[in-house]
Each structure stands twice: as structure tokens, then as C-alpha cells.
Amino acid sequence: MAPGILGKKIGMTQVFRPDGQVVPVTLLKAGPCVVVQRKTPAKDGYDAVQLGLMEYVKPSRINKPRTGHLKKAGVSGIRYLRELRLRPGDDDLKAGDKVLVSEFKPREKVDVIGISKGRGFAGLFKRHHFRGGDATHGSMFHRRAGSIGASSFPSRVFPGMRMAGHMGAQRVTVRNLEIIDVDEEDNVLVVKGAVPGPNGGYVIVRRARRR
């Protein structure tokens, strides 16, 4: 079996189980993918495959180094490339092999990795879910950060202190999402729950590592 697959987020909807339970799901356009490069412990120091998502891309949108890299593998028209580590039990994939959504089955658990939506500059309450002070008369402490360090020692603010700043646009992994359905004809993967990123954003779907 393949370690995972690349795709795009279509959007969210809901489905009904046979017992009538409503399940919120996310539709993912998963694959088809092709193996562009195989990394081996002898040559690269680790065992992995580099997958490319097959989609229509103008040749002018791909730079010369990547064009040569794809040509070496005998593929073309790939803009989104990502590596996935191989684990014991995974298929011995080589350059040119296809990875399709049919590799996955309902009730399997997967991890979905994407880039979260960018929220721009955000304050403490929105970015770090701070509670704030009492909203009572005379409080004078409503939506402030509070103490960020002592005065005499260490007389500085430690790195990593939670403050206002840029929020979102970061790599986020959502673990152990259940596969509800697999549409092999349209290359669509239906997973339970929400997936990071906007509609149309690229995602990595890998087999769950922590169950």
C-alpha cells in the first residue's frame, strides 16, 4: 500500500449514516499521483517517495530546474511535489508508479496536512484564546495581555511569549480522521470532520501514525 496521497480540498458537506446519524465531512480531490523520485537509505540516508499531483499546468508555470527533474522521471505537468516517508509494510514504489485513491478504503484512519487560512495580524484573544479580565466597573483590566515578565530579573521578555501577531498560514496536521467513502471514478475522498486550509488548497493525506 502507498504511504499516502496528495490532493486538493473541495469543501465541506454532510452525509447520513444508515442509522440516520448526520456526519460532517470534507471532500478531497485525491490524486491521481505519480512517483517522481525514490529516496533510499543507501543514497539519501532515509527511505521515502516523492509524489507529484497530476493536474493541468502550463509548461511556462514550471521553472527549468523542476522541468528537468520531472523529465528525469518521465513525467510532466506537475506543480505540487511532496515527500512521504516509507514504513515497514508499504509498497516498494519506484519512479513512474501511479498512486490512486483506490489505495484507501472506508473506515481507515488518515492524517491530513494542509496550510491553515491566513488571518493577518490578530490580537491575544483571537490568536491565543486569552480570557481577559473581569468586565466589571473599576476593573481597568479587560482585554490586556497581563504580565509578560519580571522587572528586576530577568529584565527581558523570553522568546516565545504569547503576544499579538501574525495568525494562520501555518502547516497544520489533523490526525486520525475517518474515511467515510471513496469515489474511485472521480478521485474523491470523503473524510469525517474538518481539514485545514481554504477550498482549493493543497493537502497531504497520509495513513494515520498514532491511533
Phi, psi of 63 (to 5 degrees): -75, 170
- Identify whether 109 is part of a domain: yes
CA distance 148 to 55: 49
Average pLDDT over every residue of 153-173: 93
Residue 44 counted as domain residue: yes
Residue 130 maps to a domain? no
Residue 87 in domain: yes
Q: Is residue 192 part of a domain?
A: yes
- Domain-embedded: residue 132: no
Q: Judge whether 94 lies within some domain.
A: yes
User: Could you read off the pLDDT of 53-92 as tens digits, one per residue?
Assistant: 888 888 888 888 888 888 888 887 788 899 988 888 777 7
What is the pLDDT at residue 47? Answer: 87
Grid coordinates belonging to 128: 491565543
Specify whether the CB–CB gap between 63 and 71 falls below 8 A: no
Task: Report the alpha-carbon distance of residue 64 to residue 60 in Å, rounded.
Answer: 9
Q: What are phi and psi of 154, to 5 degrees?
A: -90, 10
Domain that holds residue 81: 4-120+166-207
User: Coil, strand, or helix at residue 67?
Assistant: helix
Domain assignment present for 97? yes
Spatial contact of 195 and 9, defined as CB atoms under 8 Å apart: yes
Over residues 85-111, the pLDDT tens digits come to 888 877 778 887 888 888 889 999 999
Domain count, the chain: 1
- What is the Cα–Cα distance from 34 to 55, expressed in whole angstroms? 11
User: CA geometry: angle at 42 spanning 173 and 52, to 5°?
Assistant: 40
**pLDDT tens readout for residues 125-135:** 999 999 888 98
Could you give the CA distance from residue 79 to residue 98 in angstroms, rounded to a whole number?
A: 16
pLDDT band per the 50, 70, 90 thresholds, residue 170? very high
Residue 84: CATH number of its domain: 2.40.30.10
Please tell me whether the overall predicted TM-score, pTM, comes out greater than 0.75 for this model.
yes
**Mean of the per-residue pLDDT values of the chain:** 89
